[in-house]
Amino acid sequence: MISLARDIFEDAREASFELYRHDLKYNAMEARALSLGGATDVHVASGGIADRTRAVDAMVDYEALMERKAERWCEAIDRAVRVLYGDDWEHGIAASLSMSHAEVLDCIYIQRMSIKATALRVHWSERKVCDLRIEAFDHIDQVGELAAIAGK
């Protein structure tokens, strides 16, 4: 059986991971460009202006390539957050079930935490965390995405 809830939150988890990877790669590229220095001399020895220009060009190209992907990733995360907290942060699963249900899904799927790390963070057993996740998924599958967003 296909689970709407599982699809929404697995997509969000994957998107969250991809955004994290994108940030790591971009930060590494930026650090490389900065490490090559900001001198204004016109030399092309290794580590010189030509290397820095290539590094900055690579950053710009990468950023342009990733822009549309990042938009899709953010949309996937936003979709899951709307289901958790509604459009106004007063509805969603947090209102229809409990803030605990929303927090568990947030930790596992948006913040990419393990079941064990989630349990430690929310001070419940791993079994309780799994139960809350299953209850939330069942509820979303039963009422549908729009009703879940509305807090029904």
Share of the chain above pLDDT 70, in %: 89
Question: At 51, which amino acid appears?
Answer: D
Cα separation values, 41 from 35, 47, 52, 53, Å? 15, 12, 12, 12
Q: Which positions ≥6 away from 18 have C-beta within 8 Å?
A: 69, 73
Query: For 57-116, how does the pLDDT look when each residue is reduced to its tens digit (9 = 90+)?
Result: 777 777 777 788 888 999 999 999 999 999 998 999 999 999 999 999 999 999 999 999
